[in-house]
Chain A
Amino acid sequence: MTQATAVSKKRKRSFFYSGREDSPFKRLMIHAALWFACLIAIYPILRIISVSLRPGNTLLSTDLALIPDGATLESYRIMLFDKPFLSWLWNSLMITVATAVIGVILAATSAYAFSRHKFPGRAVGLVFLLTTQIIPAAMMIVPIYILAIQLELVGTYRGLVIAYAVTAVPFSIWILKGYYDTIPIDLEEAARIDGCSELEAFWRILLPLSTPALAIVFLFNFTTAWNDYLLARVMLGSQENLLTWPLGLQRLQGQFLTQWGQFSASSVMVAIPVMLLFLYTSKWLISGLTLGSVKG
């Protein structure tokens, strides 16, 4: 990567420079193809923004202009002040933060055991963690729902928070174990010789060195809970006060034709922060996801 950028910096002569043997025509075609792909990628998103700006009387129009005539922020105002949109966001945020904190702690300690210790059942445990990844979500919903009814956990956050945290644990353990494995154990051994206990060495040496992977796992736990619709729908039942944003948004979309503008405005407000966070961390995210596999 760094090599590639160095090369491109050295040869900035022409705008469409690419590769040694590419003709100008080929370069033009490549850029045209990429432009077209980008257009397909972002057009549906631009449409959401466009619809969210439409005034109520032209909500249903066959106009394709990105900035509609008489653009207005009315839909945003309605969502922010007249609808429980902020409550949905607050509920989601509470659940998500609790989930992510619990999930990261569970995964960080378990991954340490898998990475630094040999113990009976270790290989079986790792394969089991992989196996859980192929269980369809819909398969777990049936027993969890019926058990939750019997334990009277439906309509509360208790079951939901714990269920989310545990769902993300297997994948998080794999990511963190892969990352711990790349950190030489010598550092911890040196600390042990200087008088640290094993857990102190874990806390003071390994964890700070694993910050990027911990950040990825936090993000992964966060998005699992933040974007979930299915489990929340089943576990929260019809508790109006407890709705999370995906449930709320789906209700708006249910009355699609009348509230398309409000649905779009809320989508924009939910999606923009998530997208910025994602784009900002994406490079990190990829290296963290692929690190374990490259190491083999």
Chain B
Amino acid sequence: MIPNEVLVKSLTEVGTTVLYVLIGTAILEAVLYLVLMRWLKYRYALPFMLLAPAIVGLATLTIYPLLWELRLSFTNMSLRAFKDPQFIGLTNYVRVFTEPVLKQTYFFPLLGRTVLWTLINVMFHVIGGMVLALLLNRPMRGKGIYRMFLIIPWAVPQVIAVLAWRGEFHYEFGFINIILRQLGMTPVQWLSDPTANFLAMCITNIWLGIPFMMVILLGGLQSIAGDYYEAAEIDGANGWQKFWMVTVPLMRPVTTPVIILGTVWTFNNFNIPFFINQNELESSDILVTGLFRAAFQYNRYGFSAAFAFVIFGILLAYSIFYLKTTGGLKGATE
């Protein structure tokens, strides 16, 4: 059972936090009310009062840390120089590209591996999700039950799913190698062989990610009116042509944002490489786990801050490029 000290301790911890938040918000709103509403009679006083708590929260926990990290990236802060870091200009940024970012791995091989990881995963997510959505998008018996079972990998808490997969990649007792042996094949060293470990990461992430794609794509397929297909049939289109000429173009408003999201999520995926590999093989790190390692295993804080901004720059460039070419953001800020 739960010891009393634990009960009380976490209750007080959380309780005081909520209390601080309430008091802080009340003071903030009172000040804003007096200044904006009463004193300045500002036209937009109400929206800003409504936004104020979120603005303060985001400013202290997102903007301020980011600016602080930017400053950090120009210093040599590490565990050795924790108290009085020196300003060293752009040295860290140069180092990201010229020195190993981990023990042996350089930046560009790491970037290449991350791109490969993202491509493989997003491709299988989209193809797998699309195949399952197409199979389910027809009147048939048992559709709801299939959907429920297929959604399960998404419903399991991710940490549990990934840790369980890690167990199943065990050389002797994991079910994958047991099945391989029963089929008369040689079992694979999933946890110690670099290529196999990378493959293990991909298998886990593909398994986890397909349900989300399937559900979103199925929603899109169901919104396509049957008339388009009838018109195509009258024109003599076969199933393959209907898919490429009707389904794919009409699905674009659904597929574009979901591919951007999927790419960013996969690129930034921390849990899967981290838990499958358990911080052992450098050859299985992608950029974000490499970043975590540089900061918390090698304690090179200044360097990892610069590294973080390089990664962020890549993501930002990708998102802007994709949004520009597809016009995905049009109307979103109306």
Contact = CB atoms under 8 A, between A and B. Distances in A.
Interface string B164-176: 1111101011010
B50 interface: yes
Contacts of B264: 133-134
Interface in B53-98: 53-54, 57-58, 61-62, 65-66, 68-69, 72
Given A136-B312, A253-B167, A109 B159 contact: no
Interface stretch (B119-127, B146-154, B192-200, B243-251): B146-154
Contact of B163 (A146, A198, A267): A267
Interface stretch (A35-43, A67-75, A187-195, A209-217): A35-43
A294 B223 contact: yes
A165 interface: yes
A253 B275 CA distance: 10
A contact face: mostly helix, strand, loop, or mixed: helix
Given A40-B207, A141-B295, A275-B152, A90 B2 contact: yes
Nearest to A81: B1
A109 B156 contact: no
Contacts, number: 312
A43 B153 CA distance: 10
B2 A87 contact: yes
Interface centre among A86, A106, A227, A250 (most CB of B within 10 A): A106
Interface size class of A (residues with CB under 8 A): 35 or more
A250 B159 contact: yes
B247 to A, nearest CB: 14
Interface string B302-331: 001100110110011001000000000101
Interface in A128-143: 130-143
Nearest to B295: A142
Contacts of A289: 216
Interface in A142-201: 142-147, 156-158, 161-163, 165-167, 169-170, 173, 198
Contact of B160 (A47, A98, A271): A271
A271 B156 contact: yes
Contacts of A170: 58
A128 to B, nearest CB: 8
B205 interface: no
B3 A15 contact: no
B159 A227 contact: yes
Given A44-B207, A278-B155, A290-B216, A165 B57 contact: yes
Contacts of A106: 53-54, 57
Given A47-B164, A134-B316, A138-B291, A109 B50 contact: yes
A230 B1 CA distance: 27
B44 interface: yes
Main secondary structure of the interface of B (DSSP, over half): helix
A154 B70 CA distance: 22
B5 A144 contact: no
Contacts of B141: 8, 15-17
B7 interface: yes
Given A18-B140, A33-B135, A98 B14 contact: yes
A267 B292 CA distance: 26
Nearest to A51: B167
Given A8-B139, A127-B333, A234-B296, A86 B1 contact: yes
Contacts of B168: 44, 47
Contacts of A123: 333
A133 B312 CA distance: 11
A286 to B, nearest CB: 5
A54 to B, nearest CB: 11
A287 B218 CA distance: 12
A270 B65 contact: no
Interface string A270-296: 110011001100100011011001101
A169 B52 CA distance: 13
B158 interface: yes
Nearest to A131: B316
A22 B309 CA distance: 54
Contact of A134 (B158, B164, B304, B319): B319
Given A94-B14, A98-B18, A267-B164, A162 B132 contact: no
Nearest to A5: B139
B51 interface: yes
A-B CB proximity, top 4 nearest = A143-B65, A18-B140, A8-B139, A113-B47
Interface of A: 1, 4-5, 7-8, 11, 15-19, 22, 27, 30-31, 33-34, 37-38, 40-45, 47-48, 51, 60-62, 64, 81, 84, 86-87, 90-91, 94-95, 98, 101-102, 105-107, 109-110, 112-114, 117, 119-120, 122-123, 125-127, 130-147, 156-158, 161-163, 165-167, 169-170, 173, 198, 226-227, 229-230, 234, 241-242, 246, 249-250, 253, 256, 260, 263-264, 267, 270-271, 274-275, 278-279, 282, 286-287, 289-290, 293-294, 296
13 contacts: A18-B140, A31-B142, A37-B146, A48-B164, A60-B172, A64-B175, A94-B11, A94-B13, A135-B62, A137-B288, A142-B305, A170-B58, A270-B157
